[in-house]
A and B are shown apart, each in its own frame.
Chain A
Amino acid sequence: DAGVIQSPRHEVTEMGQEVTLRCKPISGHDYLFWYRQTMMRGLELLIYFNNNVPIDDSGMPEDRFSAKMPNASFSTLKIQPSEPRDSAVYFCASTSRQGATSNYGYTFGSGTRLTVV
């Protein structure tokens, strides 16, 4: 298995532009998480899905942020319009209920480093 795949790896965009981050979870995993990592705030959970349904989006900072999971193999995190304070590394992670209690825990993607100038 190729693991959790995120794209792009790096994104540089101008303030006000729309940004779309993509994630392909591990096949068979029914939980998908979006995290944001910054120096100031550490690792924050933005939203998570179970069986493609958003369960908790209380971590989404503003209405500018939205996430979708149209099917079991794909999720997007969109920021519109983007602002410089959105600059961070965004991680996607997936697991299964069984996996969460196994030795594998959560599998994280390599992240997308977003820079908004």
Chain B
Amino acid sequence: AQSVSQHNHHVILSEAASLELGCNYSYGGTVNLFWYVQYPGQHLQLLLKYFSGDPLVKGIKGFEAEFIKSKFSFNLRKPSVQWSDTAEYFCAVASGGSYIPTFGRGTSLIVHP
């Protein structure tokens, strides 16, 4: 069974700082990778996904993620965060053609204005 690790449980940044949230998974086969965001009091929304092709994926709101197969990682990045990026971020991995993701524990991001 696959598992997903998000090493940073809480991240606090000032506006304009750069962001990188780590995500590692344990599964040796083909994977589909996702990042979801949950703004305070709201439901999860898809930020970006990777199924195949260019390992550098661009998502909404200036977010991007890079799939590094050799490191089993799919880290989320944003060069300059805004106060409105304050939210919980979830990495998710689905194995092969299942499309049923396993979610990480989530990383709480707080951005101070």
Contacts and interface: CB of A to CB of B under 8 A. Distances in A.
A111 B42 CA distance: 8
Interface string A52-90: 000010000000000000000000000000000000000
Interface in B2-21: none
B45 A42 contact: no
Given A43-B90, A91-B44, A110-B43, A105 B34 contact: yes
Contact of B103 (A43, A95, A103): A43
A101 B46 contact: no
Interface residues of A, number: 24
Given A43-B90, A101-B51, A105-B49, A91 B102 contact: no
A33 B103 CA distance: 13
Nearest to B60: A103
16 contacts: A4-B43, A33-B100, A35-B103, A42-B103, A43-B90, A43-B103, A43-B106, A45-B100, A45-B103, A56-B100, A101-B51, A101-B99, A105-B34, A105-B36, A109-B43, A111-B43
Interface of B: 32, 34, 36, 42-46, 49, 51, 90, 99-106
